[in-house]
Chain A
Amino acid sequence: MRDANPVQAVVEHYLDAVRVHLAHLPSQRREATLSEIREHIADAMRARASGDSVTVQDAYAALAEMDPPEAYADGGARLAEPPLSRKFIALGLLCSALQIAGLWAVIAAVPVLGAVSGFAAIVIFFLIWSNRASPSWLVGITGAAAAAGLGMIAMELSHAL
């Protein structure tokens, strides 16, 4: 165990430097990343060790082949999403269409249809909003439709009460 401490010190020194460059990440993700890197170093050291025990030289050799701590700084940046599928764009358009249908339903005095279409508009907005690839214009349009849907539900509720 006496030999383990200097090895651990070398590894922790590297991980501390990496931690500084991961400061922009949420703490849970930062610690998960550091945990993965710690396991990677342990595997790399074992791959170099001649026997069961890992030496400081093994630790330095393993770290020398790894990226420098500053290389982790941009690694967690969000990458470009794949383009939004036509399905989601169709959902957005459907959302708006449902609202128009809902308004007509109100005019035609079919209250249930107005509330149902309003509810559907809210659900579709949620689906689009929760998809990270959704463009902001589509989120905006469906958000407005959902707000109108919410108003429609409130209107139907007030009529019902």
Chain B
Amino acid sequence: MEFCILLVVGREECYGYSLVQRLRELPNLSLSEGTVYPALARLIDDGLVRATRRPSPKGPPRRYLTLTAAGRKRLREMSTHWWSLRASVEALMPAEEDGDRDA
């Protein structure tokens, strides 16, 4: 979850509501307000995400989220770990058979 939040914040400018909406769109992650907001507050507390209130093009002023230098570093570390983990799991996967591919 922490990884997903850092990925979204690192990729596009967002605020709390848009962050949750973006994460909710993704199937299988099961991320919603109850998990995202406490984790987001922790990331801000840990200095990985910065929240800055400023005027919004639509609606009232919002707390916009950006990654700090420490947040970008953590995101790089987590990405490296993710690709390494994915490669290891894929190495364990059986080779795809013709029948499965056709199905």
Contacts and interface: CB of A to CB of B under 8 A. Distances in A.
Contacts, number: 76
Interface residues of A, number: 28
A37 B42 contact: no
A82 B59 CA distance: 38
A83 B45 CA distance: 21
B81 interface: yes
Nearest to B20: A40
A111 B44 CA distance: 45
B94 to A, nearest CB: 27
Interface residues of B, number: 27
Interface string B21-50: 000000000001111111111101100000
Interface stretch (A5-13, A64-72, A114-122, A150-158): A64-72
Interface of A: 22, 25, 28-29, 32-33, 36-37, 39-40, 42-44, 46, 66-68, 71-72, 74-79, 82-83, 85
9 contacts: A28-B45, A32-B44, A39-B16, A43-B16, A43-B59, A66-B33, A68-B34, A71-B35, A77-B38
A44 to B, nearest CB: 7
Contacts of A22: 38
A82 B82 CA distance: 9
Interface of B: 1-2, 15-17, 20, 32-42, 44-45, 59-60, 62-63, 74, 77-78, 81
A75 B81 contact: no
Q: Which of B15, B16, B33, B45 has the most CB of A within 10 A?
A: B33
A143 B34 CA distance: 38
A114 to B, nearest CB: 34
A20 to B, nearest CB: 13
